[in-house]
Structure 1
Amino acid sequence: MTGIAVVAVDIVVAAADIVVAAADIAVVAADIAVAAADIVVAAADIAVVVVDIVVAD
């Protein structure tokens, strides 16, 4: 019975590790989303500058 209990604990620990890994992935995904938003904002800023240059000409 002790062997089964050890295996059960190992499974619970592995499951907790998976949950932690999933949370880490979620954080990375959120960071990527923020970076993508920053890129969109930068692109919009560039578009405004281009329009300003065209209007100035």
Structure 2
Amino acid sequence: LGDYEWILAFEADDLSRIVDLMRHLRASRARLHVREEIPFYTGERRALADFVADVR
């Protein structure tokens, strides 16, 4: 990854906490240094075995 490519992972019991965090970060002055605004993706954390069982 280059200087402007970062991947961050957030975990919370309540999705609204992560949404509020993203809103707060996007409203900060540091956002002025962001070249591209990209969406964030969410999903339920699951055990690999459960995922594989559902895919089959």
* TM surpasses 0.5: no
Structure with the greater alpha carbon radius of gyration: 1
Task: Tell me the TM-score normalised to structure 1 length.
Answer: 0.29
Higher relative contact order (CA 8 A, sep 6+): 2
